[in-house]
Amino acid sequence: MDLRHLRYFVAVAEEENIGRAAARLHISQPPLTRQIQQLEEELGVTLFTRTPRGMELTQAGELFLEEARNIRALVEQATERTQRAGQGKLGRLDVGIFGSAILDAIPKLLLAFRNRYPDVKVVLHTMTKAEQIEALRQRRISVGFNRMLSPLADLEIKQVTTEALLLAVPAEHPLAAQPVIRFAELQDHPMVLFPTGARPSFIDKVIGLCADSGFQPLISQEVGDAVTGVALVAGGFGVCLVPDSATTLQFPGVVYRRITDTPPNFYVDLSCIYRKDDQSPILAAFLDTAERYREETT
Amino acid sequence: MDLRHLRYFVAVAEEENIGRAAARLHISQPPLTRQIQQLEEELGVTLFTRTPRGMELTQAGELFLEEARNIRALVEQATERTQRAGQGKLGRLDVGIFGSAILDAIPKLLLAFRNRYPDVKVVLHTMTKAEQIEALRQRRISVGFNRMLSPLADLEIKQVTTEALLLAVPAEHPLAAQPVIRFAELQDHPMVLFPTGARPSFIDKVIGLCADSGFQPLISQEVGDAVTGVALVAGGFGVCLVPDSATTLQFPGVVYRRITDTPPNFYVDLSCIYRKDDQSPILAAFLDTAERYREETT
DNA sequence: CTTCTCGATACCCTACAGGTATCATCGGCA
DNA sequence: TGCCGATGATACCTGTAGGGTATCGAGAAG
């Protein structure tokens, strides 16, 4: 049996007349007769009673008509859904995000993606940079978000946005009272740094900036993520350089201050990382959305 | 697209290897490659990623695999069900029965049919002889039960059983006290006859029997069916000849008595009637069951 | 570097879907 | 009653496409 048989059968059943059905199918009458005969022979069931006025369904034929219509609808639906999946419009995208970076850019980007591809189920997995890389290679995620990513042979990196750095300062701290903060002044104040874990990371960025300005920071504490860092600032552990987006963390007793004499690379990137060999149309759609986001926000 | 494509696709998806899938399908590898390519081209979707180790489903491919399996299962089910329908094992049978004749033979026969063909839904329609014939011609029923059916050009009649006649007598009636009742004695006693309506019917049977014995019955009342007839007997309207099966009607004040000197045709048939041109396998199955029933009960 | 395994390609052959011509049958109608 | 028209069935031809064999190209493995 063949989908053609089903198509022909439904046409004949609906027209109750082989000639008309043949015309509707754009074939001539004899082949249609033969196909129907074949179908009946293969099933071993008489589907039609032949009358001088045309073809009339038997009870078995009526049942088969329902089934045939059902199957044909299902085939249509399957192709349609598969095509949507092939265009990245339907399916699932596993995304790795880092600890506290669910701030500003990532939610906005995910929201934009959801709007463009409402039938793609986005699943977020919180994991560190090293875990993201491992998960990418094991195909547990298709894309990861992180900062300060280093090039890798099998993974591609694409910058999503850059963020200026701000200084998180305890409200009672002398620097909070100054109208202007110069970067070099930070050498006199204990700093909270983050994240711990896989290097290079944001920590190295900050230490590098200090080194460029000719000093070593006074490290009061290293913590895992920005949220903890700002919490320690609130607790008086010192100041902390954070990306712009961290200002969404409004802790009582913490104020954010701009640095006036920013060195040229006084910003940090937010990038996404994915397998070079990943041909998934959903990933392509996601990266396209990310690209648009980047263009809109720069 | 074609069911073959689905079969091939599922095999490749399951084997993750075109060569093995080809072996499983008993074809050689190149045609299988081509069929998969055709399928992908027709859908416009890459279903597999080709690796040096074999074929790996894409996300769209995974979805299509589910759909394909589903469709294939449905096709199998459709053929199976249609075949059962074609063998008369699945479907619906509309049966016309007459007023009060839901006694003895018909329920037993229907029960036997249900046991042999549990998936055939039997729908009973109570209708008179004339209504049955009309309903048969209009195909609202496939078979009807009745007595004293006359041959018709387009309808076939098949006897199901015969029943001896008994006399329903009021308990207080003089005949009830006699040890023996001879048929000729009935000429002295008012009788209830049934059914009214289309002739020839059971009424004519009784009148004919009386005529054969050389008398005209004293008709006290004509009623629509045996139940009403026996009820009138209970009410003292007279005696009433009824088929054997009517003894299942146990009215208080009514007793059934045998006639001793029965004439040779002192019985009435129960037959079924159906369209000569009806090729329905369900009807055939039903008639076969009826035939067996007849053989078992004679 | 060789070898093995995978899918892809090239080319041939045959089966079968589809075409035309024609037949058989049954109702309707003059 | 017999002709005509409509219906599905049959006979036969043709071209497409599905399946076969032989072979290639690319990676992985040794």
So what's the pLDDT on residue B101?
59
The answer to whether the beta carbon of residue A281 comes closer than 7 angstroms to any atom of strand D is no
User: Residue A17 and residue A11: Cα distance in Å, rounded?
Assistant: 9
Q: Where are the beta strands (DSSP E) in A171-291?
A: 190-193, 218-222, 240-243, 254-257, 267-275
**A110 and A94 in contact (C-beta within 8 Å)?**
no
What's the topology of domain A162-268? D-Maltodextrin-Binding Protein; domain 2 (3.40.190)
Is B43 within 8 Å of A86 when comparing Cβ atoms? yes
CATH of domain B3-86: 1.10.10.10
Rounded distance in angstroms from the CA atom of residue B6 to the C1' atom of nucleotide D20: 21
Protein-contacted bases of chain D (C-beta within 7 A): 5-12, 18-23, 26-28
**B97 and B104 in contact (C-beta within 8 Å)?**
no
Where along chain B do its domains lie?
3-86, 91-160+270-296, 161-268
What's the topology of domain B161-268? D-Maltodextrin-Binding Protein; domain 2 (3.40.190)
**A-chain residue closest to B80, CA distance:** A43
One fold for both A91-160+269-296 and A162-268?
Answer: yes
B117 strand-pairing partners:
none
Look at residue A101 and tell me whether its pLDDT is greater than 70: no
Check: CATH 3.30.160.40 for B91-160+270-296?
no
User: Residue B22 and residue A222: Cα distance in Å, rounded?
Assistant: 60
Burial class (CB in 10 A: 0-12, 13-18, 19+), B96: buried
So what's the pLDDT on residue B117?
96
pLDDT band of residue A122 (cuts 50, 70, 90) is very high
- The residues close to strand C, meaning Cβ under 7 A, are A 2, 4, 26-31, 34-35, 38, 52; B 17-19, 29-30, 33-34, 36-37, 50, 52-55
So what's the pLDDT on residue A95?
96
pLDDT band of residue A2 (cuts 50, 70, 90) is confident
**A132 and A146 in contact (C-beta within 8 Å)?**
yes
Q: Which nt is closest to the CA of A16, judged by C1'?
A: D7
Is B82 within 8 Å of A43 when comparing Cβ atoms? yes
- Return the closest-CA partner of residue A22 out of A4, A50, A30: A30
Which residues contact residue B225 at a Cβ distance below 8 angstroms, ignoring those fewer than 6 apart?
Answer: B98, B99, B100, B101, B194, B195
Q: With contacts defined as CB-CB under 8 Å, which chain A residues touch B85?
A: 45, 59-60, 63-64
Protein-contacted bases of chain C (C-beta within 7 A): 5-11, 17-22, 25-27
Strands B91-97 and B120-126: parallel
Domain A91-160+269-296 architecture? 3-Layer(aba) Sandwich (3.40)
| CA distances for B60 relative to A46, A280, B277, angstroms | 39, 9, 52
Side chain identity, residue A250:
Q
So what's the pLDDT on residue B248?
87
Which residues contact residue B119 at a Cβ distance below 8 angstroms, ignoring those fewer than 6 apart?
Answer: B84, B89, B90, B91
So what's the pLDDT on residue B231?
93
Which residues contact residue A125 at a Cβ distance below 8 angstroms, ignoring those fewer than 6 apart?
Answer: A94, A95, A96, A97, A135, A140, A141
Strands A120-126 and A91-97: parallel
Is A4 within 8 Å of B2 when comparing Cβ atoms? yes
Share of chain A above pLDDT 90, in %: 64
So what's the pLDDT on residue A194?
92
User: Residue B242 and residue B256: Cα distance in Å, rounded?
Assistant: 9
User: Residue B230 and residue B252: Cα distance in Å, rounded?
Assistant: 10
User: Residue A184 and residue A261: Cα distance in Å, rounded?
Assistant: 9
Look at residue A215 and tell me whether its pLDDT is greater than 90: yes
CA angle A275, A281, A283 (to 5 degrees): 45
| CA distances for B276 relative to B92, B157, B273, B279, angstroms | 19, 9, 9, 8
User: Residue B240 and residue B165: Cα distance in Å, rounded?
Assistant: 10
Write out chain B's pLDDT in tens, 298 residues: 889 899 999 999 998 999 889 988 888 899 999 899 889 988 989 899 888 888 889 999 999 999 999 999 999 999 999 999 999 999 999 999 987 656 788 999 999 999 999 999 999 999 989 899 999 988 899 999 999 998 888 899 999 999 899 999 999 999 999 988 999 999 999 999 999 877 788 999 999 999 988 999 999 999 988 999 999 999 999 999 999 888 888 899 999 999 988 888 899 999 999 998 888 999 999 999 999 999 998 7
| CA distances for A210 relative to A122, A127, A188, B233, B267, angstroms | 39, 28, 12, 119, 119
Write phi, then psi, for A40 (nearest 5 degrees). -65, -40
- Return the closest-CA partner of residue A275 out of A133, A110, A90: A133
A284 near B CB under 8 A:
no
**B79 and A43 in contact (C-beta within 8 Å)?**
yes
Count of alpha carbons within 13 angstroms of residue B33, beta-carbon side? 6
